[in-house]
């Protein structure tokens, strides 16, 4: 495997293991990394792959910063060094997560370093995910259900009410994830976006809570309770106030379950339920399917989901 800039790193060498919380960016650390991969054990290959993902993420962050215009007012050698150290730490934190680039690197290393074994089964035959997803490589920026380096650098720090909202509903979201396959972070992010992180929840006529976290409207097929409120809809791109009927539930848990049923069972969202490997694809799919009339819904939802994923990692 190589990294940006055309440089490659051989994998067959030796030394003591490097600190798993550090980035192999100097000569000694790289020699240690080469040795670990050469030991051909699952643990050493996994660590080597994680380090190479860190190096790649560091180059990605560096390229992003170099492409950003600088004012020159606060620039100094000390500031550049501090920024480089911060970028290294961010690269380490963003690597080694489930479903990340390091898993692909580790799989390739294992295959290349064990030629005596039987030929590996093709990826499309080993996994149970839809073949359409496997046939087309997923771009790095969309591959993981966590913020990428570029997104993590641009996202604002989650507010206290966002953290409180995620913590409050995490158990219900996790339970529904196990039965529906929709990542809890996706559901929590959408619920947070729809309710202003709990500040603007739909109320019943008497002022009680409708427990509708996802803004699901009550259509002709809905036989449960209804909350009728004034909402903002976009008609030909322009916002308009109108009265609409929304579903009402007995609890927040019911809201999560009903949302999952809608996404996984409705033909309207059939494509969306297959796009849970990418925040951007999931949000864009919901907008294309007509979940909301806001023309900027996908971008706003992606931001909310990525902030939620940040919070989940911090709370883990």
Greater confidence (135 vs 160) lies with 160
- The pLDDT > 70 percentage for the chain reads 62
Residue-wise pLDDT tens digits, 236-268: 888 888 899 999 999 999 999 999 999 999 999
Residue-wise pLDDT tens digits, 268-308: 999 999 999 999 999 999 999 999 999 999 999 999 999 99
pTM score of the predicted model: 0.53
Q: What contacts 177, CB < 8 A, 6 or more positions away? A: 183, 184, 187
- Average pLDDT for the chain: 75
- pLDDT at residue 100 greater than cutoff 80: no
Tokens read off for 273: 């339920």
pLDDT at res. 233: 85
CB atoms within 10 A of CB 195: 17
State the average pLDDT over residues 121-148.
40
- pLDDT at residue 122 greater than cutoff 70: no
By CB atoms closer than 10 A (0-12, 13-18, 19+), residue 194 is buried
Greater confidence (140 vs 89) lies with 89
Residues 268, 140, 165: CA angle, nearest 5 degrees: 60
Q: What are phi and psi of 27, to 5 degrees?
A: -60, -45
Question: In the chain, which residues fall in CATH 1.10.530.10?
Answer: 158-315
State the average pLDDT over residues 50-54.
75
Q: Which residues are catalytic?
A: 233, 258
Greater confidence (229 vs 8) lies with 229
State the average pLDDT over residues 209-229.
93
pLDDT at res. 176: 97
pLDDT at res. 261: 96
pLDDT at res. 76: 65
pLDDT at res. 28: 59
Q: Which residues, listed in sequence order, are joined to residue 235 by a DSSP beta bridge? A: 238
Q: Which residues, listed in sequence order, are joined to residue 209 by a DSSP beta bridge? A: 203
- pLDDT at residue 129 greater than cutoff 50: no
pLDDT at res. 37: 55
Q: Which fold has domain 158-315?
A: Lysozyme (1.10.530)
Residue-wise pLDDT tens digits, 137-191: 333 334 344 454 455 545 666 788 999 999 999 999 999 999 999 999 999 999 9
pLDDT at res. 266: 94
Residues 201, 205, 210: CA angle, nearest 5 degrees: 35
């Amino acid at each position: 495997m190589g990294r940006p800039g055309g440089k490659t790193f051989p994998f067959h060498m030796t030394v003591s293991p490097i600190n798993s919380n550090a980035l192999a960016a100097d000569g000694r650390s790289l020699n240690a990394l080469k040795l670990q991969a050469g030991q051909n054990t699952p643990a050493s290959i996994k660590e080597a792959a994680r380090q190479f993902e860190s190096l790649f993420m560091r180059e990605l962050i560096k390229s992003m910063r170099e492409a950003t215009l600088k004012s020159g007012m606060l620039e100094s050698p000390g500031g550049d060094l501090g920024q480089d150290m911060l970028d290294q730490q961010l690269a380490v934190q963003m690597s080694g997560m489930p479903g990340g680039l390091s898993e692909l690197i580790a799989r390739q290393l294992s295959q290349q370093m064990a030629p005596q074994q039987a030929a590996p089964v093709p990826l499309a035959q080993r996994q149970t995910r839809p073949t359409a997803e496997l046939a087309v490589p997923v771009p790095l920026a969309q591959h993981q259900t966590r913020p990428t380096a570029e997104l993590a650098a641009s996202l604002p720090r989650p507010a206290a009410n966002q953290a409180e909202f995620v913590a409050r509903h995490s158990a219900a979201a996790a339970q529904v994830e196990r039965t529906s396959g929709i990542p809890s972070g996706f559901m929590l992010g959408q619920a947070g976006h729809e309710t202003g992180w709990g500040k603007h929840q739909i109320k019943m006529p008497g002022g009680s809570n409708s427990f509708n976290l996802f803004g699901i409207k009550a259509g002709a097929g809905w036989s449960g309770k209804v909350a009728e409120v004034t909402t903002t809809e976009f008609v030909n791109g322009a916002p308009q106030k109108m009265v609409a009927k929304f579903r009402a539930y007995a609890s927040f848990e019911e809201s999560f379950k009903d949302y999952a049923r809608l996404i996984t069972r409705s033909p309207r969202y059939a494509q969306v339920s297959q796009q849970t490997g990418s925040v951007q694809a999931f949000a864009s799919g919901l907008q294309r399917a007509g979940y909301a009339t806001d023309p900027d819904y996908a971008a706003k939802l992606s931001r909310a989901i990525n902030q939620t994923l940040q919070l989940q990692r911090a709370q883990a």
